[in-house]
Structure 1
Amino acid sequence: MSNDDAYDNSGHIPDAASYPPRWEAEALAFRHALGPRAVTNWSYGDNVRQVFDLFMPEDPPKGLMVFIHGGYWRRFEPGIWSAFAQGGLDAGWAVVMPGYTLAPEARISRITREIVQALSFMAETVPGPIRLSGHSAGGHLVARMLCGDAMLPAAVAARIEGCVPISPLGDLRPLIDTAMNADLGLTEREAAGESPTLLGRGLDVPVTVWVGGAERPAFVDQARGLAAAWGAPCEIVEGRHHFDVIDDLKDRDSALMRAILG
C-alpha cells in the first residue's frame, strides 16, 4: 500500500496553500525591520543553495541557535522562514538558518554532508554554545548531526548543548513507497543509513522530540519512534498540525523555545 496519503501534510490541513506565501511575507517584513542585523545569502559552499541567513541580537549573542527548514528535502529556502527567528533573537541568541541543495539534484546523504559543512562554517561565525532545531526534513537533518557517523568536527560537536527535532522524519524507509521518491531516489540501503531512529545517538547531548497532536498519525509515530530509540522525551502538542507546530518559535517564553534554548 502506498504511503502517499500517510505523509501528505498539506492535503489534511485547511487552507494549506496559504501558509508558504504568508511565511514569505512575514519573513520579508522581519528582515526589513531588523535592518543590518539580518545578513542573508551568506555562502558556505559552491552550490547556489549552499547559503545561510544569520540574524543577530542587539547585544553580543549568548550563542548560536540553528533552525533547518523542511519541505521533504525538495522545497523551500532559508528566506521563507526568517520570522521564526524572533524567539531566539528575543532570548539573546544569534539565529542561523542554513539552506541546502534540494532533491533531485542532491540525494539525502549528500544533503546531510552539506549540513555538516554548513554547521562547521557557521560555528566559526558566532562563538559560544550551539542549539540545534529543525522542522520535518529539517528535524531529520538536525538529528543526523548527532549520529555517530555525521563526522562533525570535534570542536563543533563539543559546542552542541541541545537538539529539538520538530515533527522529524526519523525513519526514512516508509518514504520509499511514496511518489516523492521519484525525486528523493531512496534505496533501502540509503534510507536505513540516513535514518536517525536506526542509527542511534552518537553525541551525548539533551534531545527533546517535538510534534503536533493534530499531525498525520505517521508523523506522530515518527516522533515517538525517534524519541523511544534515543531515550528522549517526546512532547506532543495538542491541537497543532504540521504547519503551525513551529509558530511558538516566535515566542521566547514558549515551551518550545525553552526546550531549544534551555
Structure 2
Amino acid sequence: MSHPPYRWPDPDRDHANGAFIPGSADYPARWTEAAAAFRRSRKSRLEPDVVYGPAPRERLDLFLPDGAAKGVVVFVHGGYWHLFSKAHWSHLAAGPLARGYAVALPSYTLAPAARIAGITAEVARACWFVGTRVAGPMVVTGHSAGGHLAARMGCADIAVPVARVVPISPLAELGPLMATGMNATLKIDADEAASESPARHALRDGVTAHVWVGAEERPAFLMQARCLSEAWGCPWTVDPGQHHFSVIDALADPGSALCEVLLQGL
C-alpha cells in the first residue's frame, strides 16, 4: 500500500485509520458476523436491547456470565461518534465473561443527531443503569471514539459508579479534530473541545485508569494515548504489532494481557 508524500499539517490523513490498514474494508463485515455468532451462542445468557434512556438508540445488550457476576464491564463502541452500533462488537464480551464478569454494550445517538457532549451524557446514563442491574465493581472500556467516551466516564466532572477505566486507542484531545473534514458532521467547537477532551480533565478520585494503544496505529493515535496517560499520571501500554482495527481483538481472549489490565485491581 503506497501513499503520497506527507504534507504537514494534514489532520484528515492523521486520523485516517482504514487508509493505512490492508484489507480495512473487510473489517466491518467480519465484526458483524463474529458478533452475530457470539450472540447466538450466548442467547440464554443475553438480555438484548435493554432500554436505558429515552432516545431510540439508548439501548444496550447485557451479557451475563454462567455464574454470579463478579462485577461488570461496559464496552463503548467507536466509529468517530457517527458510525456503528453495539451490534458490531458482541464477540468482544467473551474475555470478561469467561473471567466471571457481566458485559454491557450500549448503543448511543450518533452525530450529527447528537453532539459529543450529548453522547457523553447518554453513556453516563447507560453506566448508571448498568450499576442498578449488576452488583460489584464496574469497568468502562471502549475503542477510539468509544475510548474517548470510556475516558470521559473517569473524569472528575462526571459522577458515575465506575471503579476503573481502560480507554483503548482513545481520542483524548479533541482540538485537532476541529480541522478535519468530518467535523462537518461532529460540529466540535472550541468550547466543546475544552469540555469534552478527557486530557483536559482530572481523573476522578477513587478511579483507576490504564490507556491501551496499538504500536502500528497512526502517529496521532499514539500521541492521543500518551497525552491522556501523561495528563492522568496513569500507565499506558503500546501493544506490539497491533493496528487500530486489530488492537481490540484481545478483549475476546480471557488470557490476554489486555483482559488482565482491564480487570486489574478489582
Aligned to 2:110: 102
Alignment partner of 1:219 is 2:227: no
Aligned to 1:146: 154
2-structure distance, mates of 1:110, 1:24: 26
Q: Percent identity?
A: 47
SS in 1 for 2:54: coil
Aligned to 2:254: 252
Q: How does 1:36-185 map to 2 (within 5 A)?
A: 36-152=44-160, 156=161, 160-185=162-187
2-structure distance, mates of 1:146, 1:35: 31
Offset at residue 2 of structure 1 (A) = 3.8
Offset at residue 17 of structure 1 (A) = 0.8
1-structure distance, mates of 2:201, 2:95: 31
* Residues 166 and 210, structure 2, Cα contact 8 Å, conserved in 1: yes
Alignment partner of 1:206 is 2:208: yes
Residue by residue, what CA displacement relative to the aligned partner does 1:58-103 show, whole Å, maximum 9, x if unpaired?
Answer: 1011111111110000001101100000001100110011111000
2-structure distance, mates of 1:237, 1:146: 22
Aligned to 1:197: 199
2-structure distance, mates of 1:175, 1:33: 39
Offset at residue 202 of structure 1 (A) = 2.0
| Partner AA of 1:4 in structure 2 | D
SS in 2 for 1:197: helix
* Residues 31 and 89, structure 2, Cα contact 8 Å, conserved in 1: yes
RMSD over aligned Cα atoms: 0.9
Structure 1: runs of 5 or more not aligned:
none
Q: Which moved more, 1:172-181 or 1:33-42?
A: 33-42
Aligned to 1:31: 39
1-structure distance, mates of 2:170, 2:28: 19
**Paired residue total:** 256
Offset at residue 205 of structure 1 (A) = 1.9
TM-score, normalised relative to structure 2: 0.94
* Residues 153 and 165, structure 2, Cα contact 8 Å, conserved in 1: no
SS in 2 for 1:243: coil
| Partner AA of 1:76 in structure 2 | F
SS in 2 for 1:201: coil
SS in 2 for 1:112: helix
2-structure distance, mates of 1:30, 1:38: 10
1-structure distance, mates of 2:195, 2:207: 21
2-structure distance, mates of 1:2, 1:46: 39
Offset at residue 203 of structure 1 (A) = 3.1
Offset at residue 24 of structure 1 (A) = 0.5
2-structure distance, mates of 1:229, 1:259: 19
Structure 2: runs of 5 or more not aligned:
1-8
* Residues 167 and 212, structure 2, Cα contact 8 Å, conserved in 1: yes
SS in 2 for 1:4: helix
| Partner AA of 1:202 in structure 2 | R
